[in-house]
A = this chain, B = another copy of it.
Amino acid sequence: MTSDNRWQTSRRVEFGDTDMAGIVHFSRFFLWMEAAETDYLRSRGLAVHWHEAGVTQGFPRVSVSCDYKAAAHFEDILDIAITLERIGTKSITWEFVFTHGGTPIAVGKMTSVYCYNRGGKMESAEIPPELRAKLGAAGA
């Protein structure tokens, strides 16, 4: 489901996501943020990394963070609310709110920079207007 610059998805905690403290390992939330970002981008016909007419384009991350509110456990279904908070000239910033049955579990942030590549290195660039239009709602 979507509305403008938001999307909602969910993921189940797998056994391999837990650690010996009996809870989800803190690093896993970043994999779920990425999966949620992919869900959002797919919903707009986009991807986090793609090839088109010989050019590789993508959104490598420049900054990520996560604040943990409560532990998540094996077989919990985590709801993930993703918001495209900001579309800058070259970068975009996401917020991810993880809840379990309404209880806050974690809040993540991720800033990615638009980059493209014609055979050499990935270089940052201004987000083209057509990509900008697809990414977010009007006026975003």
Q: Is the contact region of chain A dominated by helix, strand, or loop, or is it mixed? A: mixed
Residues of B within 8 A of A31 (CB): 14, 16, 27
Interface residues of A, count at CB 8 A: 36
**Hey, what's the 0/1 contact readout for A57-68 against B, CB within 8 Å counting as 1?**
010111111111
CB-nearest residue of chain B to A11: B14
B20 near A18 with CB under 8 A, answer yes
Partner of A27, one of B19, B30, B74: B30
List, in ascending order, chain B residues with CB within 8 A of A12's CB.
Answer: 35
- Residue positions of A touching B, CB distance < 8 A: 12, 14-16, 18-23, 25-27, 30-31, 34-35, 38, 42, 47-49, 58, 60-68, 71, 74-75, 122
